Copies of this chain bind each other. A is one copy, B any other.
Amino acid sequence: MDGTGRRRGAALEDAILRAAADEMREAGYAGMTMDKVARRAGTNKNAIYRRWPNRAALGVAAYRQLARAQMTVPDTGTLRADALELLAKANATWSSPQGAVLRDLLAAAGDDPQLLGLLREQAGDTTMDNAWLTLLGRAVARGEAPPEAVHPRVASLPMTMLRGEYAVRGLPSVPGAVLTEIVDEVFLPLVRGRGATGPGR
């Protein structure tokens, strides 16, 4: 029909992934049924199950197409503004339809650590952590934060709290006031606190 006859290998795989991503875009992960993906890709379920063991695995694989978000690390000159900007960007992603897909995928992959790891990789999770570490590094270079502030737990804290908000509330977006509270009441005080020679131990 198309000049190109029967697709094979990578070409077919691409078509399937694209179809799955489109389905998720239109109807979310819940709406992505295997039959619809197969029809949309112009193939059948056999070809899918030969590549992925189940729906969740396909969804995770297809999510990469959805999450093309390459992030630029903000560099405003102050740690506070940098942090707020990065948080706001993450919040925008999470509250978008794509964020809903991501959350459904997280739930679906929840009992399969391997799949979960793959998903987090494709969702740009390590990229995000690195961005926060960069932020902190710059703040230290400016003398705005003590060197002890550069720590993975500190770096991942704002995103963890943001995710926590989504877990506590339902779907709607997290209000901006919460973001500033996370930064002003927790993140920045923590950065300061790690500078103080604590009697904490």
Which residues from chain A sit less than 8 Å from chain B, CB to CB? Answer: 80, 100, 103-104, 106-107, 110-114, 116, 120, 151, 153-154, 156-157, 160-161, 163-164, 167-172, 181-182, 184-186, 188-196, 198, 200-201
Docked Cα-Cα span, A184 to B106, in Å, equals 29
CB distance from A29 to the nearest CB of B (A): 11
Question: Closest residue to A164 on the B side, CB-wise?
Answer: B160
Closest 8 CB pairs of A and B: A193-B193, A113-B170, A107-B107, A189-B193, A160-B164, A188-B200, A192-B193, A190-B190
Partner of A106 from B153, B167, B171 at Cβ < 8 Å:
B167
B201 touches A171 (CB 8 A): no
CB distance from A10 to the nearest CB of B (A): 30
